[in-house]
Structure 1
């Protein structure tokens, strides 16, 4: 990956809906050259996909929790990811060191909705049990690079 690829990635992180002309201008390439580079970055897996970041307030999802996930056996991260992808309230999930196998960030409308999402997670193999911490207030939320 060279400096041009890095510039393309930075721009797409800033605006995933940017045109090839905009990406090219930001990285010093023509629009067709930017498209070829972007296609290569997707094909090699350097860019795994494009997504929309939705403001939870727009969905009226005001309740959030961080949930420690404990699994039966020793599932591969890909298996756990597949199980968690089916739960739309899961907005982020990471495997972690320590007793828990993963930590999951969940957004929900309210406590009953949160409880339903956690129950669905618990009913999904390979999840064996969970421990939850409900967010009371957000102290810091920095955008990621």
Structure 2
């Protein structure tokens, strides 16, 4: 009987080790890809029309060029937003999803709950966003974005990846 019990323990140990190896639990799995380098760009959404009177639940969308620090266009950003809070006639809180399509074909998906202010004297101000993924160089990317509103509808975006 001892041989049978020992045989079962060996078989169980081998099965567990095989399963752990298949799941990558033993450390011999694939190495994780390195996070992309930090990214900094400016988006000009001046072609986006903010609702004349911000209304809770109102939506809006737009697009605009994405430029690097030297002013070269490196892509286009597309946003979709919904008003989720109204402060006064010129200020609202919005939830936005922004897809940035870069000239090299890579895409980056950002999301934020952002203050929008049409009063040009209230600039600059800063808020945070979340990197939700992407394609190409940003496939599976995660991280955060610091967004600096320099003037109405013009945002500098500084992305840090995990």
TM-score (ref. length: structure 1): 0.24
Which is greater in Rg?
2
**Greater strand proportion:** 2
Larger relative contact order (Cα-Cα within 8 Å, sequence gap ≥ 6)? 1
**Greater helix proportion:** 1
TM-score (ref. length: structure 2): 0.23
